[in-house]
Amino acid sequence: MEPQLSWYLALSAVLFTIGVTGVIIKRNVIAMFMCIELMLNAVNLTFVAFASFFQDVIGQLFVFIVMTVAAAEAAVGLGIIIAIFRNRESLDVDEASILKL
């Protein structure tokens, strides 16, 4: 039996839900950041699955662009995390609930 499109969509939904759960229940900034990466990857899987099953290259192009956005997010996000840690000596998001440094 060949894998169906719905299998990939279900897997993507599961991965996205795990990512959302992580963002909600984690308090460490870096762990939340990694859960966001997980959500981005779940969306990428949907794009690639649709591109493959409908024979359209656009889906894969947008996966490429999403990866670029993720790289930019990693650079700026980790810079922000280091700035927060330098000021507060902590990575707990509840400590950084006031955005003022």
Partner 1 sequence: MLALLFILFAGMAIGCALAVVAQRNPLYSAISLIGVFVSLACLYVMLAAPFIAAVQVIVYAGAIMVLVVFVIMLLNVEQEERRRNRLKFLVPAAVVLAAVLIAEVAFMLQSVANPTPAVSNIGLTGSIGAQLFTRYLLPFEITSILLLMAIVGAMTLARRGGLLSSEARLVPGAQQLPLSMVDPRATPDDLTLVETDSSEEAARLLGVDPRNTERD
- In angstroms, the CA 45 to CA 91 distance is 30
- Under the binding rule (CB under 8 A), the answer on residue 8 touching partner 1 is yes
Which of 26, 43, 93, 95 contacts partner 1 by CB under 8 A?
26
Q: Which positions ≥6 away from 73 have C-beta within 8 Å?
A: 36
Residue 93 touching partner 1 (CB under 8 A) = no
35 to 54: interface string for partner 1, x by CB under 8 A: x-xx--x--xx--xx-xxxx
Q: With binding defined as CB under 8 A, does residue 88 bind partner 1?
A: no
